[in-house]
């Protein structure tokens, strides 16, 4: 049988290919991975459950097939008036997270400023840990009645983690799969994001233009980590608003770069973090 003159070349290329592939595979076994080729995860979250989340934010996300996390306070007037719309939102794949029952915050801030909009009865500086946990439990029950789900994440109102000067966060892992806490930049690496009740800092979108929001997600991509953005008003409806065109611009940017950004709900992303850390033996 006549031998092909290309056979030695083919064998050589095959050997080189195997040699170059195996070290990469071995190295990857110890590397944190996001789904597909993504360099970072992005969670777009919305606080306080207002009408504009239903009417502006969700349609913007859904126009490109993305989903977000909506942190709902149990006392929301929008939830009371449009409960079927919120139920439908969850049914379409968005996440309803717990944002406490009455949205208490610490009125007197550590830097000396005062949140004068916080009513005395909702000043978390005067709360007890027991009171805070009780109200959070009630909100969980309410949200289960809305969406039928029992696994949930928590977004701390105002990012505050203390009630009456005592941390209530340590009491939450039995109630939630993950916590979205106070402000901070994207984690430097995914090893610093703890397993158990995954805790990830959030960055406010308020007052930022489109380029600043894009820079936040690009910073996460450069680190290979996660960006969690928090919106309040989207095109109105809140004391702290983001113009709808800015919100839509960010959504369009993430959609145009799906190869680099995995955008999903906070619960889905933190479940992935937990699974990856377990695979890598980091916990």
What pLDDT does 264 receive? 98
User: How many CB atoms are closer than 10 A to CB 237?
Assistant: 17
Residues 6+ apart with CB under 8 A from 38: 258, 259, 260, 261, 262
What is the residue-level pLDDT of the chain in tens, covering all 283 positions?
444 443 443 333 333 333 333 333 334 678 999 999 999 999 999 999 999 999 999 999 999 999 999 999 999 999 999 999 999 999 999 999 999 999 999 999 989 999 999 999 999 999 999 999 999 999 999 999 999 999 999 999 998 989 999 999 888 989 999 998 876 778 889 988 875 556 666 778 888 999 999 999 999 999 999 999 999 999 999 989 999 999 999 999 999 999 999 999 999 999 999 999 999 998 7
Structure tokens at 43: 């969670």
Task: Check if the beta carbon of residue 262 is closer than 8 Å to that of residue 38.
Answer: yes
Q: Residue 274, SS3?
A: helix
User: How many CB atoms are closer than 10 A to CB 275?
Assistant: 11
Q: Residue 227, SS3?
A: strand
Helices 210-223 and 244-256, axial angle in degrees (round to 10): 30
| Length of the chain counted residue by residue | 283
CA distance 103 to 156: 9
CA atoms within 13 A on the CB side of 89: 33
Structure tokens at 21: 């592939």
List of domains in the chain: 37-280 (3.20.20.370)
């Amino acid at each position: 049988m006549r031998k092909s003159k290309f056979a030695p070349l083919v064998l050589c290329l095959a050997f080189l290919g195997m040699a170059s592939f195996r070290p990469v595979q071995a190295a990857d076994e110890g590397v944190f991975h996001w789904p597909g080729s993504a360099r970072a995860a992005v969670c777009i979250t919305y606080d306080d459950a207002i009408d504009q989340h239903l009417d502006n934010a969700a349609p913007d996300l859904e126009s490109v097939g993305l989903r977000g996390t909506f942190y709902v306070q149990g006392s929301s007037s929008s939830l009371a008036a449009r409960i079927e719309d919120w139920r439908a939102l969850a049914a379409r794949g968005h996440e309803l997270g717990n944002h406490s029952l009455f949205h208490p915050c610490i009125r007197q801030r550590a830097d000396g400023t005062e949140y004068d909009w916080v009513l005395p009865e909702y000043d978390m500086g005067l709360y007890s840990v027991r009171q805070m946990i009780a109200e959070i439990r009630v909100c969980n029950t309410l949200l289960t009645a809305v969406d039928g789900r029992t696994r949930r994440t928590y977004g701390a109102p105002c990012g505050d983690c203390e009630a009456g000067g005592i941390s209530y966060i340590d009491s939450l892992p039995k109630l939630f799969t993950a916590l979205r806490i106070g402000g901070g930049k994207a984690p430097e690496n995914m090893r610093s994001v703890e397993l158990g009740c995954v805790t990830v800092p959030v960055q406010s979108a308020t007052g930022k233009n489109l380029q600043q929001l894009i820079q936040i997600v690009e910073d996460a991509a450069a680190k290979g980590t996660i960006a969690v953005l928090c919106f309040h008003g989207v095109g109105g409806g809140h004391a702290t608003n983001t113009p709808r065109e800015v919100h839509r611009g960010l959504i369009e940017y993430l959609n145009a770069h799906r190869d680099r950004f995995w955008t999903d709900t906070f619960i889905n992303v933190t479940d992935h973090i937990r699974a990856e850390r377990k695979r890598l033996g980091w916990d």
